[in-house]
Amino acid sequence: MAPGWEAAFEAVPRSAFLPDVMWPYDMGRRRAVTVARSEAPESWRAFADADVPIVTQWDDGAHEGTSPGRVSTSSASMPSVVAAMLGDLRVADGDRVLEVGTGTGWNAALLSHRLGDDRVTTVEVEPAVAAAARGALERAGYRPTVLSGDGRAGHAARAPYDRVIATCGVREIPYAWVQQTAQGGVVLAPWGTHFGNGDAVVRLEVAGQCASGRFTRRVEFMKLRAQRTAVRHHDRVPPEGTAAAEASTTALTEGICSATRAGTAPS
């Protein structure tokens, strides 16, 4: 774990941000399974503490019942992936952070514990998910700015940010993120192509009107809603916040200018 984050992870358990009924990814069976705290509290706790991704919403909230739905659309990422990406972010005391993709609110809580509530802004596209995250954050004692809206636009009212972190996969880097990042700041996002679900975390440093940098590791995240393609997640594919089977900390490339006035990453 990157230095400076140990206290946050000790103080902010993922379990505090998980619903009573959830769908963890069972690595042995290679599919999402239903776990209800009221019916199987020990199993619920074991999955909550395990290094597995956990689906918390299916089908953009249209799903009913307790069986897994068709498409996973919100989740709690693997703790190891969360820790690795926060390490890649390399925050410093006093940094202002914009998070795109609030999800359960756990990542925002970790950021708030490390930096302070007033330094964290998080945006979630789904109003019900944002409301649930806000409630979980308040119960845990954290009050970052939680907004419901299209994360592609960032949130200019609280800019500039020293760090922007996306917890959803993107196929283009929205230029608004670069515009709202201070000079020398960082945009961190899981980026990939339209040819598959896989992503690679790209760490971009903002200089002038451009942002360039290197890939840090392979992952797989649910995609930014506005950038979804026909390639979808199914039970055979691990959900959001999963480390790829061949994950590597070796940079895949460097010197990529991924955001220009045209507003897109290389594709």
Residue 187 CA to residue 189 CA, distance in Å, equals: 7
Report residue 192's pLDDT band, with 50, 70 and 90 as the boundaries: very high
Catalytic residue among 77, 80, 112, 212: 77
Report residue 234's pLDDT band, with 50, 70 and 90 as the boundaries: very low
pLDDT at position 251: 35
Lowest-pLDDT range, 105-114, 138-147, 185-194, 244-253?
244-253
pLDDT at position 171: 92
Average pLDDT over residues 64-82: 94
| pLDDT above 80: residue 186 | yes
Average pLDDT over residues 186-195: 93
pLDDT at position 228: 72
| Rama region for 116: left / alpha / beta (φ>0; ψ in -120 to 50; rest) | left
248 catalytically annotated: no
CA end-to-end distance (rounded Å), the chain: 31
pLDDT at position 227: 77
pLDDT at position 240: 55
Q: What is the 3-state secondary structure (H, E, C) of the chain?
A: CCCCCHHHHHHCCHHHHCCCEEEEEECCCCEECCEECCCCHHHHHHHHHCCCCEEEEEHHHCCCCCCCCCCEEEEECCHHHHHHHHHHHCCCCCCCEEEECCCCCHHHHHHHHHHCHHHEEEEECCHHHHHHHHHHHHHHCCCCEEEECCHHHCCHHHCCEEEEEECCEECCCCHHHHHCEEEEEEEEEEECCCCCCCEEEEEEEEECCEEEEEEEEEEECCECHHHCCCCCCCCCCCCCCEECCCCCCCCCCCCEEEECCCCCCCC
| pLDDT above 90: residue 210 | yes
Express as a percent the part of the chain with pLDDT over 70. Answer: 85
pLDDT at position 262: 41
pLDDT at position 222: 87
| pLDDT above 60: residue 126 | yes
Tens of pLDDT, residues 22-41 = 999 998 899 999 999 999 99
Average pLDDT over residues 208-229: 89
| pLDDT above 90: residue 17 | yes
Average pLDDT over residues 126-137: 97
pLDDT at position 223: 86
Residue 98 CA to residue 187 CA, distance in Å, equals: 9
